Amino acid sequence: MIIFKKIKHYSINNINFKKFDGLLYIVIPCLLEQRIISNTIDNFVKAIEESKIKAQLLIVTTNKEKKLIDSDDTTYEVVKKKLATSSKYKNVKLLNYPAYSGMMAHQLNFALQAIIKNNKNVDKKSYFAVYNADSNITKQTLINMCKLCQTKSFPLIMQEYAAFFKNLKSLSPLMKGFAIFQTNFEFTNGFTNGFTNGILFSKFLRNHVVGHGLFIRLDYLQKIRGFTTDYWCEDIYLSFFLRSHDVKIYPIFAVEYGESPKNLKILMKQNATWFKTLFENGKIYSDLVKKHIDRTSAFSYLINQYRGAFAWLFLPTLYLAIIFYLFLLGNWQLGIIFLFSYIATTTIRYWLSNRIVELLSHNTMQSKLYLAFLASFAYLISNIGPLYSLLNPKRKKYKTER
């Protein structure tokens, strides 16, 4: 209830913020994004214009794309042609990471180097924001970001969490359930815990940053030397790093809309990529303790991360096993009670997440209860990604298909 009241307080109609006197760099790394990048650029340009803040949009492509396709119609060429069509793109800059290998973190660091090169005196009011090529924001994101800068004196880290509803209507019932499941994770472990930590800091809450919707103060990002390239998921490492230094993550009271995987195969490979880095938290901890960190915070976060990893890996199977075991024993009454209790509690949890998204986006969400119900069933097989990760330890990092 407190969160719901706070969200209403941040309603865009009630916001009165001073002019944002910093500079915002919005960085979108791209790999094989020819299909969607044009609309994404238009979306961000519109949000920047309507919010009236000083911002620059940087699209970062990579030569790695040339190894993956036979055509010259790369994302770089698509963006280059688009930017030449109108003067409204004057604040959009196209960068191309020259290497034929590397990950998203390499592209982000390449953009950071370009920004620092052109701005040798970095102040404490400029931010480096990261979004995906399928991200969709509104002026509300940028206005509420400015409001947060005012009230929290330009914090080191701000995060806008995502609802994966952009392609919801085109998904099957099962994949709609997974879209709700992933959105719930963002807002339960991210937004809610971040909100709580902003009021009463706790070393034991498992809040995290995500590699989209992430706002890092530019001077701080320069100080920590950018993003790690030692792990597949730079955001999982960064979350651990921030917790080990007791850096608060402030949630932005807005919603980014992104796409959800369109089939189980894509989702399985995507989740396997996340799980690999999540399961390497012991190695991350070992790396961090070599530095000057708060070991209590780091260790408590390590335990929390492993708890989350094992819950993701084993709990869905455990629930299924209990349900089947009770029915196989012929204990129909207890089986029905357990199944009903599971569906009721999980549906309520997912419905609450949907309600938070609805309030943050100022849009009425249709069929919230039905979608939450679908997520309850999707959860029962939500460990296919972790299982695939463990069974295929030598696989390469997967680029999510859109």
- Quick: pLDDT tens for 102-132: 999 999 999 999 999 988 778 889 999 999 9
Cα angle value 70/71/76 (rounded, 5°)? 120
* Residue 333 in tokens: 């009454």
Element of type H or E holding 196: helix 193-199
Which among 161, 157, 165, 211 has a CA at the least distance from the CA of 190? 161
Other CB atoms within 10 Å distance of the CB of residue 32: 19
Q: What is the pLDDT of residues 368-382, one digit of tens each?
A: 999 999 999 999 999
Contact criterion met (CB below 8 Å) for 54 and 23? yes
Q: Judge residue 260's burial from the number of C-beta atoms within 10 Å of its C-beta, 0-12 exposed, 13-18 middle, 19 or more buried.
A: buried
What SS3 string covers 87-115?
HHHCCEEEEEECCCCCCHHHHHHHHHHHH
User: Which H or E run contains 388?
Assistant: helix 384-391
Query: Does residue 32 come out as left (phi exceeding 0), alpha (psi in the -120 to 50 range) or beta?
Result: left
What's the CA angle centered on 246, arms 241 and 249, to 5 degrees?
80
Residue 225's region, left for phi above 0, alpha for psi from -120 to 50, else beta, is left
* Rounded Cα gap, residues 189 and 196, in angstroms: 11
**pLDDT averages per 10-residue partition of the chain, 402 residues:** 59 56 94 96 97 95 92 93 96 97 96 91 90 94 92 94 94 97 86 61 71 96 96 94 90 92 95 93 92 82 91 96 94 95 96 90 88 97 96 78 62
Angle, alpha carbons 32-91-111 (nearest 5°): 50
Q: Which residues contact 206 (CB under 8 A, 6 or more apart)?
A: 189, 193, 301, 304, 305, 308
Alpha helix positions (H), 201-263: 218-223, 234-244
CB atoms under 10 Å from CB of 277, counted, come to 21
Lookup: tokens for 214: 């992430």
Residues 6+ apart with CB under 8 A from 310: none
Pairing of strands 92-97, 127-130: unpaired
Mean residue pLDDT across the chain: 90
For residue 7, the model assigns a pLDDT of 62
As a whole number of angstroms, the distance between CA 137 and CA 282 comes to 35
pTM, two decimal places:
0.91
**Which residue type does 138 have?**
T
Q: What is the pLDDT of residue 71?
A: 82
Task: Look at residue 118 in the predicted model and tell me its pLDDT.
Answer: 86
Round to whole Å and give the CA distance between 283 and 387. Answer: 20
pLDDT attached to residue 89: 97
37 — alpha (psi -120 to 50), left (phi > 0) or beta? Answer: alpha
> Rounded CA gap, 17 and 148, in Å?
9
How many other C-beta atoms lie within 10 A of the C-beta of residue 223? 11
Secondary structure (3-state) at 81: helix
Question: Which tokens is 107 given?
Answer: 């592209």
Q: Which two tokens stand for residue 147?
A: 């409001």
* Dihedrals phi, psi of 158, to nearest 5 degrees: -130, 150
Q: Measured in Å, how far apart are the chain's first and last C-alpha atoms? A: 36
